[in-house]
Amino acid sequence: MGQLIDGKEVAARVRAEVKAEAALLRERWGLVPGLAVVRVGDDPASRTYVSSKKKAAAEVGFLSWEYALEADVSQEALLSLVHQLNEDAAVHGILVQLPLPGHLDTDAVLAAVRPEKDVDGFHPVNAGSLLLGRPGARPCTPLGILRLLEEIGCDPAGKRAVVVGRSNIVGKPMALMLLQRHATVTVCHSRSDLPSEVSRADILVVAVGVRELVKGDWVRPGAVVIDVGINRREDGGLVGDVEFARAAQRASFITPVPGGVGPMTVAMLLRNTLEAATRGAGASGTLTEPFPGAGRLAR
C-alpha cells in the first residue's frame, strides 16, 4: 500500500516558513507583502477560491485586497484596474482569478499584469523564462508538486517522469520544471497510448480533469503518483484523475483527493508573493532557504 502524501501538512509548513520570512522582511525593511486578487462575476467556486487565498494571506501577515467585478465588466475596465494595481507600490502580487467570462480576452488580461507582479506565473515573460531556465515566477501548482517530491525525498534526477495533460497552467510547466530537475520527461495527451506510457513512469503527474482517467493497474509498482484532478462524484464527493484505490496498492507514494495537491497551490502562491515583495525590497533571493533545493527551483 502506497504512503499518502499529506498536502495539508506540507502546505502548513510552507505557510509557517512564509510567515516567518514575512516577519523578517517587515523587520528589516518595514515592508509588508501585498496581494491583490481580481475576481470577475459571482461563480461560487471562484468565490470560494478567492476567499481561501485572502484568508491564507492574512494568516501569514500579508496585506490583501479583493476586487470583485460584475460579470459583464468591459475589457477596458478590467485592464484599467490591472494597470492601476501595476502602479500601486503596496501591491507586490496580482492574481486574476480564472476562468474569466467568455467576452473577455484572457490572454490580454494576463499579459497586462507586470511580470514581476505575476504571482501565478502565467505571464508570457515568465513562461518564456521557465522555458529558457531563467529566473521568474513559476506556476503555483507545479511548484507545489516539486515541494511535495522534496518532502518525500524523491529526487527527479535520472527518473522517468510522465505528465498526463498539457495545459499551460499545470502540464507544460510541470514538464519543464521536472526537466530542469534532470528527469526524463514524457508529456501525454488525448492521442497518447496512456496505458503504455503510464506503466513506465517512476513519477506520474496527472492533470486532465477527467474522473479516474488513469487506471490503477497502469501504475508501475513503486511509482510516485501525483493526482492534480478534482472531480465531483454523483454523491457529491470528490475524486481525482487517477483510480485511487488500485493505484495506491501499487504506488510507493500517492496524493489523496482532496488534501493532496490542492493545499499546496495556495501555499506556493504565498511563497511567490513573498518572493515578489523581497525582490521589490532590493534583497536577492529568499530571506531564508525555504526547503532543500529551493534555490535550484528558481533557476
pLDDT over 70 percentage in the chain: 94
Say if residues 254 and 225 touch (Cβ distance below 8 Å). yes
Which residues neighbour 43 within 8 Å (Cβ) at sequence distance 6 or greater? none
**Is the link from the previous residue into 256 a cis peptide, with omega within 30 of 0?**
no
* pLDDT tens readout for residues 43-76: 888 888 888 898 999 999 999 999 999 999 999 9
How many C-beta atoms lie closer than 10 Å to residue 69's C-beta? 18
Q: Tell me the H-state helices in 69-166.
A: 75-87, 106-112, 124-132, 140-151
Nearest C-alpha neighbor of 280 from the set 85, 32, 8: 32
**Residue 282 pLDDT exceeds 80:** no
At 204, is the secondary structure helix, strand, or coil?
Answer: strand
Q: Which domains does the chain have, with CATH numbers?
A: 29-117 (3.40.50.10860), 140-254 (3.40.50.720)
Q: What does the mean pLDDT of the chain come to?
A: 92
What is the reported pTM? 0.91
Note the pLDDT of residue 281. 67
Q: Are 220 and 201 in contact (CB under 8 A)?
A: yes
Quick check: 297 pLDDT over 80?
Answer: no
Tens-place pLDDT, residues 195-204: 999 999 999 9
289 pLDDT band, cuts 50/70/90, is: very low
DSSP state of 115: G
Helix, strand, coil % over all residues of the chain, rounded to 5: 45, 15, 40
How far is it between the farthest Cα atoms of the chain? 55
For residue 237, the one-letter residue type is G
pLDDT of residue 188: 98
Q: Looking at the annotation, which residues are catalytic?
A: 53, 97, 120
Cβ atoms of residues 225 and 247 within 8 Å: yes
